[in-house]
Amino acid sequence: MRKAIFALSQINELILTENDELELFRKLANLIVDKIGYTECIVGKVDEETKLIDKLFIRAKLKEAEKLTKKHLIGVDPEKPYGRGSASKAYQSKKVILIPEVKTNPNMAYWNEFYINFNIHSACSIPIIKNERVEYIIILLDTTPYAFDENHMELLERLQLNLSFALEKIQNQKDMALFNEALEKTHEWAIITNRDGVILKANKAVSDISGYSRNELLGKKPNIFKSGYHDKKFYENLWNTILSGKTFSAKFTNKTKNGSIFYLDSLITPILHNGEVYRFVDLSRNITKEVIYSERLKFQSSLYNILFHLTNISTQIKSKREYLKKLTKLFVKFAQINISFMIKVHNNKIIITNTTAKNRKYKDMTKKLQVIINNNPLLAIPALKTLKNGRVYIQNNAMDEKLKPISEIATIYGIGSCCSIPIKEKGKTEAALVLVSTQKNIFDKKLFELVNTVAKQIEVTLGKIDKERFLNIVLTAINIGFEFVFIVDKNLKFVYINDSLKKVSGYSNKDVINKSLIDFLVKDEDKDSIKNLITKLKTGESISKAITYRKKDGKLESFLATITPHKENDSVEYFIGVGKQITPENDLLNELNKLLHYDSLTGLLNSKAFVESIEKFLIRAKKEELIGAIAVINPLSFKNINEAFGFETGNQILTQVAQRLKSATFNYDIVAKLESDRFGIILKDLKKEEDSLIALERILKELAKPYRINNSNIILSFNIGLSLYPKDGTSTKELLNKAQIALADARSRGEDRIGFFRKNFETKATKLIKLKAELESALHNNEFKPYYQPCVDRNGLIMGAEALIRWIKNDKIIPPSEFISQLEQSELIIKVEDKFIESVVSFISQTKKEGIPPYPIAINLSIKSLNSKDLFERVILKIKQNKIDTRYLKFEIVERAFLEKFEHLNKLILRFREKGISFSVDDFGTGYSSLSYLAKLPVDFLKIDMSFIRALSDEKTRNIVRSIIFLAKELNIQTIAEGVETKEQFDILKEMGCSCFQGYLFYRPMPESDFKSLLMERKNGQIR
């Protein structure tokens, strides 16, 4: 006890005089051993990565003890044997830990050898706390038993408290020195942080500028002031600089507690201690007023720049929608606006559109803003005032509490000012253009006047666009609505001819422009008539006359023309002629029909004819119970093609799209050109719904190829909307509407997508397409393997086997039920069965070479393989190449194969029989069971379907099976019972006279290696 009291007094004197942490603990270790008399003292710090104690100072009475202590591990991880001692417990609990007798404490066992060597009996670990964490651990060892027990606890805890206080005192003294130094350098912003950036000190100016109290700042990091202006790279550069010991200077855009922006010109200096970065001092000058004034000048300059760009784009933009979209982008790009958007009323609801923002977070802001405005329609905010009064309105402090709840949004997103500009057309306010800045008070009187000028410029430009749009509509109507349209000046010289006139006459602009109309007329009477009519036309009247003219190829054509004078300032300056070629009545009717039902550009059916075609198909489909599909196809961003390359290029691409659609569909399918740039397709007579998806995938692949126009490759993306008859609808209107809905679904999911009205169909169809691709891959990777299931005679002896196709994928067997149906419906089945036959023939050949008696192997053939032209030749070639006896190869066919191509099948079987290959009818009784076909077909075996075998307990089923066996015997055909699973079934079938048996009672299907092993085991004459 006296030692402890003496230690406390000596250490307190040391604490009062020492101002350096490490020096304090070095002297402490020496004092404890040299003056107080304890055997050993260790001062260390915990390495958080290794969980080992880094021994900073070791002092012992014996130098040998010091050396060994350096080598011994001391840790704080309880999972390790050296991490269970008093130091670990002190670290975990932050309390003084006493070990009165180390040799009897199991947790101290790791160091027993050391304790024995130096006669250590007692130990004590004291955690020293700094900033609420264990900064140092002091370990005391003594040769006296019970030198540290509960009687010493109070004194040792006081020692712990005094040392922790000493650390805090030393830290505070350093901080104060640093802080005073910082305050001497600046009268404004001053902050001190630790190495991790935690704020330790902040002067009054920090609170005045940021709005946070000192208590709110202490313990926080400077990112509390982050405005979102600076990117990640900026902060990475900051930290890399100051952690390397260098000073970092920059201008910061920060945010106050209430969300407004302020600016600092900052100098961040790292403070080194013992050669390492220890603290950071941030000394900054508040430059907010300077920046706002500068930003205002920049903003004023940018508005002049905007006026220039508005004038510039007005000569390039052709549509109102494109212009309004560019408006918001212009202001964000050139006017130093953080966010710009349009706000308008639609169906009595406020909607926000055309949002452009410098930061993605602001787009979330507009969504919230739209909800707030709709819930508070009487808010006195600039945008609503503009919509109501048609004037420019400004709000220089968006965080003003009078604007609640808008001000709350402004505070969250750091919005300072906003301005609302009316978008007017023909004097009526259609929308408001809202400009938002993070700066407060950015709009002064001069800027207000500039904004008004911008508003007037927008109104003028929209008027111009509207006028040009109307002129384009008229010009388009002229180009496509009449056979002839021409304009001549008052001297009868051509200034314009439309596309139709060029096409019919063969003349180009170069051939006719500035040449006289009279020169193209053939008859003198026409020439004289036109000259005489000029006088009449100048009175303002219109005239109609049949005129004969000479085409470029020399042929003569007549047309009926109506010529109308066009006056400017009460004087006739031009004559406008419209006309129709005079043709025989039948030709006229054909032309009329073409105009009514076909698209003039692509030659495809038009929308009207497409609807009529759907209705015709539906009448037949309902009667014949057919499946069909309606697809609407839309090239994406086609407007951009027209704008970038011109309408002529756009028309060439549409023509190529039409040609590709025709080539990618069957002759009986319908392809049409719908409104604008859309196309429609009727997929007729589908076998199943999923076939529509396969067809559309093929079409989409064809459409995605580059379009070669004027030595340039143009890439287009498409979306397709699909509806199916009869599942999605039974009327034309219903199917088209649902195809349009499906098209919207496709657009929402990206480019080159097919949209579906029914999601469950999409899942099912996509799954089948994926399966098709996997089947192709399986064929390529040789994943289809034969499994052999023996069949036995009445005595249970093997007399042959059936080769069953199995798909081995990733060492797993895929059940045939999951792929056989899809495989049989595709052309892939022919290739799969061809490889399968080759595998079986090779197996028969191999067993023969190995001295194993061969047995007949039966292979199932699909209808597609049976109908393939070269099946016979391929099979015979494989037999010859492998040198096997044809008697050991058999084929099985299903009943429905009889009906599809009976004559072909009959001839095929006869050709194989001539070569010694026999045939079986598989699954007999489940299909058409046509006895007449059975009598005519030269088959040798009849396989009774397992569904009959499983139901043998039923008397009627037994009678059916008995009849099949009897009938087969009468036709000299052997019977094979499939799916025999019980001895009772086997006995019944034997009693009925069945020839062969196959099923789990005897053998399950097995891989080639197992089947070969089975045959080897029975090699000694046990199998007939």
* Helix (H) / strand (E) containing 201: strand 199-202
pLDDT score for 900:
66
Percent of the chain with pLDDT over 70: 87
How many C-beta atoms lie closer than 10 Å to residue 477's C-beta? Answer: 11
pLDDT score for 3:
61
**Which pLDDT tens digit goes with each residue over 851-860?**
888 899 999 9
Cα 478 off chain centre by: 45
**Site of tokens 């499939």:** 978
**Which pLDDT tens digit goes with each residue over 890-902?**
999 987 777 667 7
- Gap between the Cα atoms of 482 and 602, Å rounded: 18
pLDDT score for 826:
75
Look at residue 117 and tell me whether its pLDDT is greater than 50. Answer: yes
CA distances 627 to 318, 611, 700, 733, 772, Å, are: 44, 17, 21, 17, 21
Query: Which of 219-228, 523-532, 589-598, 934-943 has the highest average model confidence (pLDDT)?
Result: 219-228
- Gap between the Cα atoms of 997 and 994, Å rounded: 8
Torsions phi, psi for 85 (to 5 deg)? -80, -165
Q: Read off the pTM.
A: 0.36
**Site of tokens 């707030």:** 372
Look at residue 702 and tell me whether its pLDDT is greater than 60. Answer: yes
Average pLDDT over residues 207-235: 90
Average pLDDT over residues 490-518: 85
Query: Could you tell me the pLDDT band of residue 743, with boundaries at 50, 70 and 90?
Result: confident
Average pLDDT over residues 120-125: 94
When comparing pLDDT for 902 and 430, which is higher?
430
DSSP string, 850-888: TTPPP--EEEE--HHHHHSTTHHHHHHHHHHHHT--GGG
Residue 78 C-beta-side C-alpha neighbours within 13 Å: 7
- The dihedral sign for the CA sequence 949, 955, 958, 963: negative
Q: What is the DSSP code (8-state) at residue 226?
A: B
pLDDT score for 99:
93
Q: What is the SS3 string spanning 565-593? A: EEEECCEEEEEEEEEEECCCHHHHHHHHH
Please name the residues in contact with 236: beta carbons below 8 A apart, sequence gap of 6 or more: none
Residue 513 C-beta-side C-alpha neighbours within 13 Å: 8
Query: Could you tell me the pLDDT band of residue 593, with boundaries at 50, 70 and 90?
Result: low
- Cβ atoms 722, 630 nearer than 8 A: yes
Average pLDDT over residues 822-835: 85
Query: Could you tell me the pLDDT band of residue 39, with boundaries at 50, 70 and 90?
Result: very high
- Cβ atoms 40, 61 nearer than 8 A: yes
Torsions phi, psi for 660 (to 5 deg)? -65, -40
DSSP string, 525-570: HHHHHHHHHHHHHTTT--EEEEEEEE-TTS-EEEEEEEEEEEEETT
Nearest to 341 by CA among 403, 421, 286: 421
pLDDT score for 561:
76
**Which pLDDT tens digit goes with each residue over 441-473?**
777 666 777 778 778 878 877 777 777 665 665
pLDDT score for 586:
41
Average pLDDT over residues 238-261: 90
Nearest to 627 by CA among 761, 728, 696, 764: 728
Query: Could you tell me the pLDDT band of residue 311, with boundaries at 50, 70 and 90?
Result: low
Helix 585-597 with 607-624: angle, nearest 10 deg: 80
Query: Could you tell me the pLDDT band of residue 828, with boundaries at 50, 70 and 90?
Result: confident
**Which pLDDT tens digit goes with each residue over 1-26?**
566 566 667 777 777 778 888 988 89
pLDDT score for 1023:
45
- Gap between the Cα atoms of 380 and 393, Å rounded: 11
Torsions phi, psi for 541 (to 5 deg)? -80, 155
- Gap between the Cα atoms of 997 and 1001, Å rounded: 9
Dihedral Cα 1000, 1003, 1008, 1014, nearest 10 deg: 170
pLDDT score for 228:
83
Look at residue 585 and tell me whether its pLDDT is greater than 50. Answer: no
pLDDT score for 167:
84
Exposure string (b/e) for 57-95, b if CB count within 10 Å is 16 or more? bbbbeeeebbebbeeeebbbeeeeebbbbbbbbbbeeee
Residue 426 C-beta-side C-alpha neighbours within 13 Å: 3
DSSP string, 285-346: EE-HHHHHHHHHHHHHHHHHHHHHHHHHHTTT---HHHHHHHHHHHHHHHS--SEEEEEEEE
Stretch among 212-226, 243-257, 708-722, 1009-1023 having the lowest mean pLDDT = 1009-1023
pLDDT score for 536:
59
Q: Please report the domains of the chain, with CATH numbers, ordered by start residue.
A: 1-176 (3.30.450.40), 187-288 (3.30.450.20), 317-473 (3.30.450.40), 480-583 (3.30.450.20), 598-757 (3.30.70.270), 777-1020 (3.20.20.450)
- Cβ atoms 125, 89 nearer than 8 A: yes
How many C-beta atoms lie closer than 10 Å to residue 144's C-beta? Answer: 14
Whole-number mean pLDDT of the chain?
A: 84
Query: In 670-797, which ranges are E strands?
Result: 670-673, 679-686, 707-709, 712-714, 718-725, 753-756, 784-792
pLDDT score for 318:
65
pLDDT score for 751:
86
Average pLDDT over residues 983-990: 94
**Which pLDDT tens digit goes with each residue over 44-68?**
999 989 999 999 999 999 999 999 9
**Site of tokens 């030749």:** 873
Look at residue 692 and tell me whether its pLDDT is greater than 60. Answer: yes
Query: Could you tell me the pLDDT band of residue 765, with boundaries at 50, 70 and 90?
Result: low
pLDDT score for 325:
82
- Gap between the Cα atoms of 897 and 82, Å rounded: 82
Stretch among 65-79, 178-192, 777-791, 798-812 having the lowest mean pLDDT = 178-192
Alpha helices in 647-731 (DSSP H): 647-663, 690-703
